[in-house]
Every structure is written in C-alpha cells, then in structure tokens.
Amino acid sequence: MTTELSPQLRQSLDRLVGYEALDAQPDWGDVAGRAARGRRRSVVLAILACFALAVFVSAAFAFGTDLWQLVAGKPVSTKRLSPEEQRMFASLASGRPILRTQPNDPALRRLGKDVSVRRLADQGGYTFYVIEVRGRYPTRCFATGRAWKPRLFGSMECPIPGRRPEPGSFPSARNPVLDQSEFAPRGGEVSRLVGFAAVAVKKVGLLTAAGDVIASVPVVNSTYLKTIRPPATGVEAIVAFDGSGRRVYCEDVAANDRCGNRPAPEHVTPPRPSPQREPRPVRLGALVQRGKSQGVSVSVYDLGVAIFDLSAASPRVVKRLGAGVSAGCLRTRFLNGRWLSDDLSSGALGRGGDRLRVDLVGGGGFMLPDEVPPPYQGCEISGYYGRRWNDAFGTRALVEIPLGEAGRHFFNDRAAARDLAYFVRSGRVQRIRLSPSPRPGLEALARRYPHRVVELQRKDQFAPEDKIGFWIGPGTIRFTTTSSTGRRLFVVAKRRTLKLPSQNLGDLAFVF
C-alpha cells in the first residue's frame, strides 16, 4: 500500500528547505512525478551554505552485503546535522511536521534512534554519506558535502517518502549506479563525474559518439569523483564497468539512444493524464481567535482556517492589494534570547469579494488533522515588493494583525530586525564590508542619512530606535539597532569578507 505525503508534511519540508530565501515555491508533486520515471538523469541541487537544503526524490534504495550493494561505511552522529536537517529527518520519521518553534520536540530527542548516518568515503575534498530513516516514512537518502565546510551535507537525493522500493532499485544488478554528475552551462559538457556505485562496479567513465570511453575514474568505497577540465564535449552516455571490464551500466546524456534503453516508438504508449482532484476546503469549526488592523479583520477557526475580511480595509491597503499578495498566520516563540517562528503559509487560498480564506492545514482525505492548530500569535497579508533598506514600503508586511502581546512584540521586533538586515545586506554596504578601509564609506552613509545612520563610540553601544549604528573595530564591524519594544539587535561582520560571525536576529530577518 502506498503512503501519501500529508499536506502538513509537504508544508514542513517546504519550510525546512528555505524556499523563502530562494524566492521560489516548491512543487513536490512535480518532483515526485519526475522521480517516478524508470530511468532518468539524477539531478542534484547544492545547498545554500547559510540557509537552505534542497532535497530531490528518486527511486527507493536498498542495502545488503553482496556485490550489488554498498560498503558499510562509518557511523556519523546525528548531532552533526544542521537544525534544518534534523527537523526534516524528524518529520519523515514521525510523520508530522517538526516546527522551528518546537526545538524540544520528542521526535528530535529520539533522532539518533530513528535516523542513522554513515560516511562512505572522502574524495577530493568531498564527503559521501548515506542516511537511513526509520519510522512513519522510512527512506534512505544519499548526500555529498564539502569536507572543509561545517554543514555536513551540500546536496542530497532521496526516494519518495512512503513509497515501496521498486524492483531493481539502486543499488542492484539492474541499477548499480546512482549518478549525480555535474554539467557545464552548455548542454552535453560534463564538468564533474560524481556519484554512488555498488561494490561490483570498479570504474565509471564517459562514452563518446566515437565509442571511446574517456575520463574514467575508479570507484572507491562505493563512490566516484573526478573533475574534468576542460569539460568533456561530445559525451553521449555515462558508463560503468565491473572488475573484468564488462559494462554493467549505461545511461544516456545525449538526445540519441546510445545505451539502447528506450523502447521502440511503436511500443510507446502515451501516458494517460491522471485527474487532479481539487483539495476540499477544511471545515471551519469553532471560532477561536479574532483580530483587526488597518481596517482588516481576521477570524481564526480551530481547524486552522483563517478568514480575512477586507471590506473596511484602509485606502493604503486597498491600493496595494492585488494578485501578488499572500496570506498566512504565524507561530512564534522567544527562546534563549532569540525569536523562533513558523510561517504557516496558505495550503489553500481563496478570494471571494472582500473575503480572503486561508486553509493553513491543507485539505484532502489523507491529511493529518490538527497538526499545527491554533492559537497563532499573529496573521498577516504580504505583498511582493520592498525588501530594500530605507525604501517607501518600509519593513512591515502590508497587513500585520497581532493576536496577542507576543505577536505584537514579534511584529515590532521583526520590523527593526528587517531594517538592520536590509542595511547590512545592501549592495553598497556589502562593498564597504569587502573594502580595505570601511570608514570612508560608512561615514558617507552617515552624512547622507543623518537621521538614519550613526557611528557608535563604543563596541557595547546600541543605536536608538529607527536608527542603524556602526562601530568599526580592528577586525570586525558591529551594526546595531533597537526595536520599539526595547530589544537590542546586532550583526557582527568580519572586515574584508562577507562573513557574519555572530548576530541575534534569529528568525526575524535573513541577513547575509
């Protein structure tokens, strides 16, 4: 029986990979559809080093001891996983989303029992891992990382959670290679051979149109890696050989069917389009929260439904309302001196007249109900504009409706944190941070914006509300501000680099 992913788990995975930072919305259905194809090119997306982890799904994997399986590898503690990775694997193991505001969730505490990580090899500055997840959605993932980076994984490939292994899945005699090779921007040019291979595979290479095998590389501990400079051109397939030189794997990378894997045209049956059911709206349930701001009111119901009433919205809000708006509610928590937040964006969003409905828990017959129920600390309507320091749009969402004192403090602190983050990550300030002498540039900003930018005389000083302060030290620059709540915020930048050794913005704003 195939287990479907719940909308909540999909939403949780979306949050974990940080698509807000990528300005893109993930389509897990499309990923799963592409993954279900029999023989496909493996696609790998590198992690954004400071923020996100992108995970692609593929056919399920298997382990064993014979020649068509993998080496055992060495165990790695799950404590070395980043917080985002820990939440992602805990979500798969438990079958429910693990939120940022739940850092002490039992699923995180038992992560070492539900998830095992093993390092297969270290090659050329790259590390190769296999991750096995037990629990609600058992799965095995393959990941690579850079040995010199603190983050364990740089890219990852996983099977579809909950799907049974297909016959002949990797690793097997039928599919002994999981190739993750990289290509140059121009099509067909292989820049790096990289991937995983069964024990029986001893060599991997590139097959040209002339039938020659070039850029071959030995398999070491079920992995292979070779950087090709300049990138190889005219490549038609990736091939693998066993110890006797017999070809045991061939995968096309060109348009023609060099490997002979594709069926003859007369035997190809066009796939039947599967009907897509619209998710059924979640029933309202009992009214549990209500709030109002700028003429916009929101009513929150106990099954995670928020309805915004726009009939009395202020002229400013009406002017900026359009097709490019999004709505949602927030769970927030202040812990150990930092704000944690989970942005519960709309699983289904419907607009009718002056009402905007958001189903925060998704819909459908296989949903996990009440996984992220109210109460929420606030709801908001956002537009796709702004995100620049000192612009006309400011640092707040189009409509912010706090649903309690904690939500009010969060929105106020977030506005100040965004002001600081937009300043530090602006192009001009980044160039100043990289320069040998940052003082002339920062002093010029203070002269141009005397009511917004000030120089601080001591390292422990903080700029007052609505101002950005800077202190220049021998090796760092310290930027600060103060929220209307009195909370003091800071970002420390290392001079002549874009590194930020420390900051206390938490989930309030993204700074780089």
Same domain (yes/no): 361, 451: no
Asked whether residue 256 falls in the same domain as residue 297, the answer is no
Q: How confident is the model at residue 190 (pLDDT cuts 50, 70, 90)?
A: confident
500 and 442 within one domain? yes
DSSP track, 158-192? EEPTTPPPPTTPSSSSS--EEE--EE-SSTT-EEE
Same domain, 492 and 444: yes
Number of domains in the chain: 4
- Supply 146's token pair: 């850079």
Contacts of 263-272 with C-beta under 8 Å, sequence gap 24+, read none
How many whole angstroms separate alpha carbon 193 and alpha carbon 219?
Answer: 11
**Which domain, by its residues, includes 493?**
419-508
Are 114 and 216 part of one and the same domain?
Answer: no
CB count, 10 Å around CB of 118?
Answer: 17
User: Per residue in 64-91, pLDDT tens?
Assistant: 447 888 999 999 999 999 888 899 899 8
Q: Are strands 190-197 and 177-179 parallel, antiparallel or unpaired?
A: antiparallel
| 379/436 same-domain check | no
Last residue of a domain, one of 353, 368, 403: 403
Mean pLDDT of 338-362: 77
Structure tokens at 284: 């309202």
Q: How many residues does the chain have?
A: 512
**E strand or H helix that includes residue 392:** none
Q: Are residues 293 and 394 in the same domain?
A: yes
* CA–centroid distance for 1 within its chain: 29
Say how far apart CA 122 and CA 148 lie, in whole Å.
Answer: 11
**What does the alpha-carbon distance between residue 367 and residue 376 come to, in Å, rounded to a whole number?**
20
Residue 17: its pLDDT value, please?
Answer: 41
Angle, alpha carbons 314-317-323 (nearest 5°): 145
How much of the chain exceeds pLDDT 70, in percent? 77
The CATH number that applies at residue 238 is: 2.60.40
Asked if the model's pLDDT at residue 442 lies above 50, the reply is yes
Q: Is the pLDDT of residue 489 over 60?
A: yes
Q: Taking the C-alpha atoms of 401, 407, 412 and 417 in order, what is their torsion angle to the nearest 10 degrees? A: -120
Q: Is residue 103 part of a domain?
A: yes
pLDDT at 204: 96
Residue 92 has which token pair? 């798969």
Which residue, 226, 245, 261, sits at the end of a domain? 261
| 346 and 431 within one domain | no
- Among candidate residues 243, 261, 279, the one where a domain is terminated: 261
- In one-letter notation, the amino acid at residue 507 is D
What is the distance between the alpha carbons of residues 55 and 67, in angstroms, rounded to a whole number?
28
In a domain, 19, yes or no: no
- At 372, is the pLDDT very low, low, confident or very high (cuts 50, 70, 90)? low
How far is residue 361's CA from residue 347's CA, in Å, rounded to a whole number? 6
Look up residue 44 and give its two tokens. Answer: 């790998």
With beta carbons less than 8 A apart as the criterion, state whether 69 and 176 touch. no
pTM (whole model) above 0.85 = no
Q: How far apart are CA 141 and CA 153, in angstroms?
A: 11
Residue 278 lies in a domain: no
The answer to whether residue 1 is domain-embedded is: no
Q: Of 205-219, 322-336, 482-496, which one has max mean pLDDT?
A: 482-496
Q: 196: closest CA among 48, 75, 69?
A: 69
Residue 7 belongs to a domain:
no
98 and 135, same domain (yes or no)? yes
392 and 301 in a common domain = yes
Same domain, 291 and 395: yes
Residue 298, domain member (yes or no): yes
The answer to the question of residue 52 being in a domain is: no
Buried/exposed 430-467: b ≥16 CB within 10 Å, e otherwise: eebbeeeebeeebeebbeeeeebbbebeeeeebbeeeb
List pLDDT tens digits, range 262-280. 665 555 566 666 565 555 6
Residues 236 and 318 in one domain: no
What is the mean predicted confidence (pLDDT) over 462-486? 98
Residue 184's Cβ-count burial label (10 Å; 0-12, 13-18, 19+) is: middle
Residue-level pLDDT at 149: 81
Question: Which of 237, 232, 255, 251 minimizes the C-alpha distance to 183?
Answer: 232
- Cβ-proximal residues to 405 (8 Å cutoff; 6+ apart), any chain: none
C-alpha closest to that of 333 among 510, 88, 104: 104
Torsion of CA 103, 105, 106, 111, to 10 degrees: -50
Task: List, for residues 399-421, the tens digit of each pLDDT value.
Answer: 999 999 999 999 999 999 999 99
List all residues 6 or more positions away from 25 whose beta carbon is below 8 Å from its beta carbon: 14, 19
What pLDDT band is residue 186 in, cutting at 50, 70 and 90?
low
Q: Looking at the domain assignment, is residue 436 inside a domain?
A: yes
